[in-house]
Amino acid sequence: MVTAVQLKRGKLILLFLVSLCLLGVGVIMGIRSFLVGHGEAYGVSREIPWGILISTYVFWAGLSCGLSVTSAVGHLLHNRPLGAIGARSVFLAIATIFAGFLAIGLELENPWRLPIWVALSPNLRSNIWWMGTLYTVYVILLLLEFTLMTLGKHKASARTGLLAGLSDIAAFSNLGAVFALLAAHPFWYGTYIPTFFIPSALMNGAAAIIFFTWLAYRLSEREMEPEVVQGLQVAGKIYGFTIAICIFFLGWKIAASIAGKPYGSWEAIMALLKGPLAFNFWVFEVCLGLVIPLLVIIGVRARDINAMAYVGGLSLIAAFVMRYDQVVAGQLVPHYAHMHIYGLPQYYHYAPSLCEWLIVIGSLGLFGALFAWGEMAFKGHPPVHH
């Protein structure tokens, strides 16, 4: 006879199995891209060499950064409510960064060269070298932090968590610098992207811990403990505050790109405001990602977990679109100025191929499998640090 506990666990098992199937499809498509060539399998081109797999990597890396820093803030401030959700934050940070590694690994034509030459031929002037090195340090610290949590060594895990948070801030802002130091793409060039990456990561990380904690309890049909509710309410305040910061940053980015119509930046921002990316920008980035979540959080005063979870889940979809727009908008503008009046295209065109979409879904499958496995492995009660 099937018990109620087995039925509840069955939802997680089903999620785990479905996620593994999605992961398998993504990996098969990735292997196919190696066999037939990335140029044949992906929709990228010489004009737009970075596509949706790069933005997917940035999305997952940003979530990991926000989740690990949320846990680190709890350590730093000795905040007991945040401590109640700290272990799940760390585990989700591990799951998201590995999902990001899958996306970037299948995007690179020779991914095995990265660890080899990072170790054998370091180039301290290369942002890519620093990215590989900093993320290696970050993952080691993150795994060590979670291991110490499971062993009950809370002081050691707290110190390791602070180091992991700092290393991830350095790694993710450096990832922003990979874009920001490319003078050939004016929309990216400058200090905006490395700086904006941090509050946007905190915003997405807060949304993720609210949504996935709520989802975990819904799947297991358990009542949320009071300390977990308090932790999510604190995360909701962080979420609302960082949304306001991101709105401030976005407003100034638009103003700086419009004032004086600087070539490259102005055309890219027009692509977002009323061009080929306008639907993405207004519907996803602005409405679902910023305005609606902020209004809901203010309306419920960061107390209603269900309401914050609903908008948090929607804003994660919006965050994926935001990262896509950031990557693509910077490449849409041709390097030749005002030549569209002679019949040349005003914007380059990029559309992800089916292979790219399936790899994106595969990275989601890896995250889903790790999430479900984590909930089953810790029986819905991940270790809590104090």
Q: What are phi and psi of 47, to 5 degrees?
A: -75, -40
Task: Convert the pLDDT of each residue in 264-314 to its tens digit.
Answer: 899 999 999 999 999 999 999 999 999 999 999 999 999 999 999 999 999
Nearest to 366 by CA among 124, 40, 15, 119: 15
Which range (6-15, 126-135, 166-175, 215-224) has the least confidence? 6-15
In this prediction, residue 119 carries a pLDDT of: 80
Percent of the chain with pLDDT over 90: 67
Nearest to 176 by CA among 339, 326, 329, 369: 326
Cα angle 158, 163, 164 (rounded to 5 degrees) comes to 90
**Domains contained in the chain, number:** 1
Mean pLDDT of 227-239: 93
Q: Is the pLDDT of residue 213 over 90?
A: yes
8 domain-assigned: no
Cα end-to-end span (Å), the chain: 40
Q: Is the pLDDT of residue 33 over 90?
A: yes
Q: Is the pLDDT of residue 211 over 70?
A: yes
Q: Is the pLDDT of residue 383 over 90?
A: no
364 domain-assigned: no
Mean pLDDT of 183-207: 92
202 domain-assigned: yes
366 domain-assigned: no
**Do 104 and 55 meet the contact criterion of CB atoms below 8 Å apart?**
no
Residue ranges making up the domain that contains 234: 44-336+345-350
Q: Is the pLDDT of residue 343 over 90?
A: no
Q: Is the pLDDT of residue 254 over 80?
A: yes
357 domain-assigned: no
Q: Is the pLDDT of residue 316 over 80?
A: yes
The domain spanning residue 122 has which CATH number? Answer: 1.20.1630.10
d(CA 118, CA 129): 6
Mean pLDDT of the chain: 89
301 domain-assigned: yes
Cα angle 79, 85, 89 (rounded to 5 degrees) comes to 110
Nearest to 235 by CA among 210, 256, 214: 210
Within 10 angstroms of residue 238's Cβ, the number of other Cβ atoms is 22
283 domain-assigned: yes
In this prediction, residue 11 carries a pLDDT of: 86
**Do 364 and 102 meet the contact criterion of CB atoms below 8 Å apart?**
no
Q: Is the pLDDT of residue 248 over 90?
A: yes
91 domain-assigned: yes
Q: Is the pLDDT of residue 340 over 90?
A: no
Task: Convert the pLDDT of each residue in 81-136 to its tens digit.
Answer: 777 788 899 999 999 999 999 999 999 888 888 788 778 888 888 888 899 899 99
What pTM, to 2 d.p., does this model score? 0.93
In this prediction, residue 79 carries a pLDDT of: 63
Q: What is the DSSP string of 219-281?
A: HHT-PPPHHHHHHHHHHHHHHHHHHHHHHHHHHHHHHHHHTT--TTHHHHHHHHHTSTTHHII
